[in-house]
């Protein structure tokens, strides 16, 4: 089946677009026989490691990183029947919603969720914003506005705009969240925002890694946020990909024989990334090193996946190669795992095809059965969960996996998580529109700058 390696395509697009780059356009004319002075920005794709030093999370299961992680570890979800979604019957749709504190009125829900996650990530990284070069601080954040009921009230002039809040007309753009967080944190380095369905925040992470490797910045914050939108919910319902069950917390069943779809979720995830030299200079704690990020465009179908799993298998294999990892070097895969018939089947086949016999030793899990499908925020949230799983040496469970699909030929950690000190991990995103993304990470084990395994994570 046709597919495009976006890691090659992105480089090609960048070369073709250089003439339109205002920074390049402002450089004085240079004859071809004159050597160009080497600058940090010109040293593309150098070998300096990129590391993760901070994590922030907001989700239905908690308003901070550790609360969300405990819920995921325990397989404890907060799915409920939703009401008040315009055009949809009350109680019909299941969702994992975030209950925002009362001090956040007059703003679309994505902004305070993104703010909370970003602030937590910066605190976790112990990043002194007054001590860094703001021009070397990048921001790569994706979001969909969601939660549009308040915006409708503002646009209809039913409620006057609070002058102390962000004006409604500055909140609805696709890049509004990125701009908002960058301004809040004082980031004047590169800014990126992507709209690639449920791969958006993972591609935002990938973009931040590229900016760091190219020398455009020394530190960056990356991730995504999303809130439940009635229009999107109606579309998913029309596509028949939303799960139904008499018990909302048992509805989403990734890799299970009786799976029927996903439950919609919302929240935010932010990660602080740095060039290793920058992190070491300020004696930062380090979670993990980013080994490789790769994207692929599957041209099979706008919403369907290639049942032969050729594209996703190729993506996994190429990510392992670019990470210099053998299949047996990977201990954990955080799958996209939506709980739909088609997605899970393709992932099961692709993981087996790419890993071969080494798949027998893998721990694979989907956390969407706990947190819901957070759409734009899904990839970033699940990458953060992967980082925390590596930190603690614990493979989180796939909740509601009680009757495995007959094609499931590897360990999906059913129902109960367990200790597993894996060194390398892989995160996959498989989005509508053919957006396939993989990120490979390696745990940072340096005694001085890394994290020690908690006592309960020690293998007996």
Give the 3-state secondary structure of 25-59: HCCCCCCCCCCCCCCHHHCCCCCCCEEEEEEEEEE
Do the domain assignments include residue 79?
A: yes
- Comparing 159-168, 271-280, 281-290, the range with the smallest average pLDDT is 159-168
Cα separations in angstroms, 400 against 151, 247, 249, 271, 336: 36, 11, 9, 28, 16
Per-residue pLDDT, averaged over 244-256, amounts to 95
Do the domain assignments include residue 23?
A: no
For residue 131, how far is the Cα from the chain centroid?
28
How many CB atoms lie under 10 A from the CB of residue 325?
18
Do the domain assignments include residue 65?
A: yes
Q: In the structure, what pLDDT confidence band is assigned to residue 203 with cuts at 50, 70 and 90? A: very high
Asked if 198 is an active-site residue, the reply is yes
Residue predicted with more confidence, 438 or 299:
438
Per-residue pLDDT, averaged over 314-340, amounts to 96
Q: Are residues 244 and 115 located together in one domain of the fold?
A: yes
Per-residue pLDDT, averaged over 323-351, amounts to 95
Do the domain assignments include residue 449?
A: no
Convert 17-56 to b/e letters by CB count within 10 Å (16 or more is b). Answer: eeeeeeeeeeeeeeeeeeeeeeeeeeeeeeeebbbbbbbb
CA 420 – CA 43 distance, rounded (Å): 38
Q: Are residues 272 and 377 located together in one domain of the fold?
A: no
- Comparing 73-82, 97-106, 184-193, 197-206, the range with the smallest average pLDDT is 97-106
Which residue, 261, 281, 301, sits at the end of a domain? 281
Q: What is the structure's pLDDT at 37?
A: 39
How many CB atoms lie under 10 A from the CB of residue 78?
20
Q: What is the structure's pLDDT at 13?
A: 36
Per-residue pLDDT, averaged over 347-357, amounts to 96
Q: Identify whether the C-beta of residue 115 lies closer than 8 Å to the C-beta of residue 392.
A: no
Residue 405, domain extent: 292-444
Q: Are residues 78 and 155 located together in one domain of the fold?
A: yes
Q: Are residues 219 and 304 located together in one domain of the fold?
A: no
Residue predicted with more confidence, 407 or 30:
407
Do the domain assignments include residue 10?
A: no
12-70 pLDDT, tens digit each? 333 333 233 333 233 333 333 444 333 444 444 478 999 999 999 999 999 999 999 99
- Comparing 27-31, 163-167, 366-370, the range with the smallest average pLDDT is 27-31
Q: Is 152 a residue whose pLDDT tops 50?
A: yes
The active-site residue, picked from 180, 300, 336, 435, is 336
pTM for the model stands at 0.87
Q: What is the structure's pLDDT at 340?
A: 92
Per-residue pLDDT, averaged over 183-208, amounts to 93
Per-residue pLDDT, averaged over 321-335, amounts to 97
Q: Is 100 a residue whose pLDDT tops 90?
A: no
Q: Are residues 271 and 365 located together in one domain of the fold?
A: no
| CATH number of the domain bearing residue 179 | 3.40.47.10
Do the domain assignments include residue 270?
A: yes
| Number of domains observed in the structure of the chain | 2
Residue 236's nearest CA partner among 349, 108, 88 is: 88
Q: Are residues 92 and 232 located together in one domain of the fold?
A: yes
Q: What is the structure's pLDDT at 409?
A: 95
Residue predicted with more confidence, 182 or 105:
182
End-to-end, the C-alpha distance of the chain in Å comes to 47
What are 445's two structure tokens?
């084990």
Which residue, 242, 258, 281, sits at the end of a domain? 281
Q: What is the structure's pLDDT at 7?
A: 56
Q: What is the structure's pLDDT at 18?
A: 29
Do the domain assignments include residue 2?
A: no
Q: Are residues 346 and 204 located together in one domain of the fold?
A: no
- Comparing 43-52, 77-86, 177-186, 253-262, the range with the smallest average pLDDT is 43-52
CA 12 – CA 296 distance, rounded (Å): 14
Q: What is the structure's pLDDT at 412?
A: 97
Element (DSSP H or E) covering residue 418: strand 418-419
CA 416 – CA 199 distance, rounded (Å): 27
Query: What mean pLDDT value characterizes the chain?
Result: 85
The active-site residue, picked from 198, 217, 363, 412, is 198
What percent of the chain clears pLDDT 70, i.e. is strictly above it? 81
Q: What is the structure's pLDDT at 413?
A: 98
Asked if 435 is an active-site residue, the reply is no
Q: Are residues 249 and 317 located together in one domain of the fold?
A: no
> What single-letter DSSP state applies at residue 403?
S
Among the ranges 100-104, 159-163, 190-194, which has the highest mean pLDDT value? Answer: 190-194
Q: Are residues 238 and 304 located together in one domain of the fold?
A: no
Q: Is 455 a residue whose pLDDT tops 60?
A: yes
In DSSP notation, 348-402 reads HHHHHHHHGGGGGG-EEE--HHHH-B-GGGHHHHHHHHHHHHHHHTEE--BTT--
Q: Identify whether the C-beta of residue 127 lies closer than 8 Å to the C-beta of residue 285.
A: no
What percent of the chain clears pLDDT 90, i.e. is strictly above it? 66
The active-site residue, picked from 180, 278, 300, 373, is 373
Q: Are residues 77 and 161 located together in one domain of the fold?
A: yes
Q: Are residues 198 and 345 located together in one domain of the fold?
A: no
Q: Identify whether the C-beta of residue 131 lies closer than 8 Å to the C-beta of residue 179.
A: no
Helical axes 110-124 vs 176-185, angle rounded to 10°: 40
The Cβ-side half-sphere exposure at 36, using a 13 Å CA radius, reads 13
Q: Are residues 56 and 164 located together in one domain of the fold?
A: yes
- Comparing 43-47, 312-316, 319-323, the range with the smallest average pLDDT is 43-47
CA 6 – CA 328 distance, rounded (Å): 26
3-state secondary structure (DSSP) of residue 159: coil
Do the domain assignments include residue 71?
A: yes
């Amino acid at each position: 089946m046709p597919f495009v390696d976006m890691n090659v395509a992105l480089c090609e697009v960048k070369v073709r677009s250089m003439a339109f780059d205002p920074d390049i356009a402002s450089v004085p004319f240079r004859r071809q026989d004159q050597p160009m002075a080497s600058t940090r920005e010109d040293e593309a794709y150098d070998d300096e490691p990129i590391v993760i030093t901070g994590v922030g999370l907001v989700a239905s299961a908690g308003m901070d990183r550790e609360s969300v992680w405990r819920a995921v570890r325990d397989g404890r979800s907060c799915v409920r029947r939703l009401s008040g979604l315009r055009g949809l019957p009350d109680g019909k749709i299941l969702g994992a919603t975030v209950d925002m504190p009362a001090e956040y009125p007059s703003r679309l829900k994505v902004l305070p969720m993104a703010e909370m996650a970003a602030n937590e990530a910066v605190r976790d990284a112990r990043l002194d914003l007054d001590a860094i070069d703001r021009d070397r601080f990048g921001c790569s954040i994706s979001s969909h506005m969601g939660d549009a009921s308040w915006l409708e009230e503002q646009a209809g002039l039913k409620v006057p705009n609070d002058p102390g809040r962000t004006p409604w007309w500055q909140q609805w753009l696709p890049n509004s969240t990125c701009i908002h967080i960058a301004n809040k944190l004082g980031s004047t380095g590169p800014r990126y925002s992507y709209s690639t369905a449920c791969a958006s925040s993972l591609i935002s992470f990938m973009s931040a890694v590229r900016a760091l490797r190219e020398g455009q910045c020394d530190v960056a914050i990356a991730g995504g946020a999303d809130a439940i939108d009635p229009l999107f919910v109606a579309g998913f319902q029309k596509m028949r990909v939303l799960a139904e069950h008499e018990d909302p917390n048992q509805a989403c069943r990734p890799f299970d024989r009786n799976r029927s779809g996903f439950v919609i979720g919302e929240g935010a995830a932010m990660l602080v990334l740095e060039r290793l030299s920058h992190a070491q200079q300020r004696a930062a704690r380090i979670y993990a090193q980013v080994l490789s990020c790769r994207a692929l465009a599957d041209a099979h179908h706008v919403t369907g996946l290639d049942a032969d799993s050729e594209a996703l298998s190729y993506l996994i294999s190429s990510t392992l190669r670019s990470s210099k990892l053998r299949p047996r070097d990977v201990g954990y895969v955080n799958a996209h795992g939506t709980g739909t018939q088609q997605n899970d089947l393709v992932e099961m086949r692709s993981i087996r095809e790419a890993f071969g016999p080494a798949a027998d030793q893998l721990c694979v899990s989907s956390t969407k059965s706990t947190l819901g499908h957070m759409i734009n925020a899904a990839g970033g949230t699940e990458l953060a969960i992967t980082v925390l799983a590596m930190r603690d040496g614990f493979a989180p469970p796939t909740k509601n996996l009680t009757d495995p699909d007959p094609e499931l030929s590897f360990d999906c950690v059913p129902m109960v998580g367990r200790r597993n000190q894996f060194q390398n991990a892989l995160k996959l995103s498989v989005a509508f529109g053919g957006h396939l993304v993989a990120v490979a990470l390696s745990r940072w084990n340096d005694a001085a700058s890394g994290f020690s395994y908690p006592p309960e994570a020690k293998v007996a």
